[in-house]
Amino acid sequence: MTYGKVFLYLFTSLIAACCFLPILLIVIVSFTSEQAIVHNGYSFFPSELSLVAYNTLFENGAEVVRCYINSVFVTILGTILAVCITAMASYALVTPTVKYSNAIAMFFFVTMVFNGGMVPWYIICQNIGLSENYLALLIPNLIFSPFNLFLTRNYMREIPVSLMESAKLDGANDGQVAFRIYFPLCKPILATVGLFYGIAYWNDWWNTIMLVTNKNMYTIQYYLMKLKSDLNFMRTLQGGGIGGGYPPSESLQMATAVITIGPLILLYPFLQKYIVKGLVIGSVKG
C-alpha cells in the first residue's frame, strides 16, 4: 500500500469520525440527566444517566405511535407521488415534440424567485378544501420543487434522443417510452430527488400547524415541537429550576433528534449508490 493510499484512508476516516461523533454525542446527551448537563455541559462521558427525556416523550405512547404512523404514511405516499410528477414533467420538457418547452420551464423557474406569500397560500388551501384532512398534509408539498425538476430534466438530457426516436418508430407511445426506457435509466436522479422529497415531508410541521387541528392527524414533527414548547413553558412558569422534578429541556431536544432522524439514517444507505451519481450528472448541464 502506498503512502498516498494510507493518507487517503486516514483522511477519509477523520472526515467520517467528524460526521459520526456529533451524532454519537446527541445520543449520549439524550440519556444524560438534565442536572448533569447544566453542571457539566455536553459530554461523551456523562456523570449521571437518565431516561427522563424518553419517559417524557413516550408518556403517551399511543399518541406518539399514531403521529409516527401519520408521518410515515404522508412521507411515503407524498414522496412517491412527487417523484412521479417530477419525472413526468421532466420527460415532457426534454421531449423534442413538445413546443415551447423552454418557455414552460421559465414559468417553473419564476416560482423559485418569487413567492406569493403565506396569506394567499393559506386562502387557496382553505378554498380548495385542504383543511382537516390528509390531503392538507400531502398536496401543499406535492407541487414539485423547481430545483428537483431542473435537476431531473438535466439528467434526462444526457440520454440520447435516438432512444426515444427508435422506440417511437417501433410503435411505442410517450407513456411507454417514459416508463420503460427513460425512468429506468434515471434511477440515480429519481432516487436523489426522492430523498429530497422524503426529507421535506418527514420534517414538515408547517402544514400541520396551519391546516390541521385534529389530533388524530398530527405528524411526529409537529407533536414533538408542541411537546417541547409546552415543557419549556412549564419550566418558565416554575422558575426554570432543575432539582424539583422539572421537565427536561436539553436532553429532551436531543431525544427528539434521535427519534426523528432514525428513519432517514436507515433510508440513506439504500440510496447512497444512486445519490452521488444523480447529483453529479444532473447538475452538469443547464
pLDDT one-digit tens code per residue, 25-79: 888 888 888 788 878 888 888 888 888 888 877 777 778 888 889 999 999 999 9
- Domain CATH for 129: 1.10.3720.10
What does the DSSP assignment read for 112-173?
HH----HHHHHHHHHHTT-SSSTHHHHHHHHS--HHHHHHHHHHHHTS-HHHHHHHHHTT--
In a domain, 70, yes or no: yes
Q: How much is the pLDDT for 70?
A: 92
In a domain, 143, yes or no: yes
Q: How much is the pLDDT for 58?
A: 79
Dig out the grid coordinates for 7 from the structure: 493518507
Q: How much is the pLDDT for 143?
A: 67
- Asked whether the predicted pLDDT for residue 116 surpasses 80, the reply is no
In a domain, 129, yes or no: yes
Higher pLDDT, 166 or 274: 166
- Asked whether the predicted pLDDT for residue 81 surpasses 90, the reply is yes
pTM higher than 0.75: yes
Dig out the grid coordinates for 206 from the structure: 408547517
* pLDDT more than 90, % of the chain: 7
Mean pLDDT of 229-240: 68
In this prediction, residue 175 has a pLDDT band, given cuts at 50, 70 and 90, of confident
Q: How much is the pLDDT for 242?
A: 45
In a domain, 18, yes or no: no
Higher pLDDT, 249 or 16: 16
Q: How much is the pLDDT for 270?
A: 65
Q: How much is the pLDDT for 275?
A: 59
User: Per the structure, how many domains does the chain have?
Assistant: 1
Mean pLDDT of 74-90: 91
Q: How much is the pLDDT for 284?
A: 45
Across the chain, mean pLDDT equals 81
**Sign of the four-CA dihedral 182, 186, 189, 194:** positive
Query: Cα separation of 249 and 246, whole Å?
Result: 9
Number of residues in the chain = 286
Q: How much is the pLDDT for 83?
A: 92
- Asked whether the predicted pLDDT for residue 250 surpasses 50, the reply is yes
Greatest mean pLDDT among 82-86, 245-249, 260-264: 82-86
In a domain, 54, yes or no: no
Mean pLDDT of 222-242: 70
- Asked whether the predicted pLDDT for residue 279 surpasses 60, the reply is no
In a domain, 191, yes or no: yes
In a domain, 237, yes or no: no
Upper half-sphere CA count for residue 176 (Cβ side, 13 Å): 10
What domain range is 217 assigned to?
A: 61-221+255-282
In a domain, 153, yes or no: yes
Mean pLDDT of 99-113: 82
Mean pLDDT of 198-215: 89
Higher pLDDT, 279 or 115: 115
